Amino acid sequence: MTLEQTVVHTGVGSWPGTDIVEAIKITFDECPELPYLPELPARGAAAGLIGRGAGQLADLTVDLQPSGWRLTDGLGLDHRRAVALFRDDLDLLEEQAQGYAGCFKIGFAGPWTLAASIERQRGGLVLADRGARRDLGQSLAEGLAELISELNRRLPDLRLIIQLDEPLLPAVHQGRVPTASGYATHRPIDDPELSETLTHVVRRLDPTPVVVHCCAAGAPIPLLAGTGLHSLGLDLDQLRPADWDGIGPALEQGLWFGIGAAPTDRVIGPDAVAERVLGPVRDLALDPATTRLAITPACGLAGATPADALAILRSVRTAAGIVADELPR
């Protein structure tokens, strides 16, 4: 991430409502250092986390079944809808981004959350099949690389950042993803394969920075830090004391830390958000000159009211200024 400040603020992804133009305007207004393309799941499954991610797959197609998204042989209506909706969003982004030059973030479901959410053609999750897992990860990497090339042509003044949302990564890692019957769980995916897939995506998208965001407890922090990503985003309330033992070395390696300090189920003031950041950061006793923080809501804001979502984003913005002033230089 090439940001001049060492403390910035931004949102995570989802936003309430169905007005994408208004949502884009809000991110430019409220997150001027790092605006982002919001995800509006209220518009339907094609606009949600899995629909948007599935729409980026290269040479793989999906459709929507009562049980969820499923791989198919041909391009179906649901896949076309997901692609068309995202393309419309990009067209609107191009209009709203005129005159802006700087970092800009777009989020998609990461390969492991997709593997734990999309079924194979003959049933059962992609997660159950090593070859299918590999193909899905490579397909996502290629699709995102193609998207980056397109956006670099359409919006050359944007310095793109790709966010991979991995809320299901801990469940995948720990073998907690249920099978279709609900009576068993898929086996844990071992560290080398988890790392290899994420590392492949990060390297394929280089030099575009990649953020991995996980709002669930139990994210394998040292593993993630070793994949070459540029930033790691975590929900502060989901962190255990042992997690900080992995966060400190990751920050010393130069990673940005996206610290989800504002709850999404209520509005708290900027002083409270700032204190939630300053306490653990001070405890880490890191060199402030090399500590890079992105203060965010804990997760997406689609479940909040529009007024509360805006208030949470503004609280995060003010808190970032407080933290920047309070951290020693």
Residue 100 lies in a domain: yes
Q: How far apart are CA 226 and CA 63, in angstroms?
A: 34
Q: What is the pLDDT of residue 329?
A: 67
Residue 2 lies in a domain: no
Q: Which residues on adjacent β-strands are paired with residue 96?
A: none
Q: What is the pLDDT of residue 182?
A: 86
Q: Which residues on adjacent β-strands are paired with residue 292?
A: 256
Residue 247 lies in a domain: yes
Domain range for residue 122? 7-326
**For the chain, where are the alpha helices, taking DSSP H only?**
20-30, 49-54, 77-96, 111-115, 130-154, 169-174, 191-205, 221-225, 243-252, 270-284, 306-326
Residue 236 lies in a domain: yes
Residue 1 lies in a domain: no
Residue 212 lies in a domain: yes
Q: What is the pLDDT of residue 171?
A: 98
Q: What is the pLDDT of residue 107?
A: 98
Q: Read off the pTM.
A: 0.97
Q: How far apart are CA 27 and CA 15, in angstroms?
A: 10
| DSSP reduced 3-state for 259 | strand
Spans in the chain with pLDDT lower than 50: none
What's the structural domain count of the chain? 1
Exposed e or buried b per residue across 36-75, where buried means at least 16 C-beta atoms within 10 angstroms of its C-beta: bbbbbbebebbbbbbbbbbbbbeebbbbbeeeebbbeeee
Residue 296 DSSP class: E
Q: What is the CATH number of the domain that holds 57?
A: 3.20.20.210
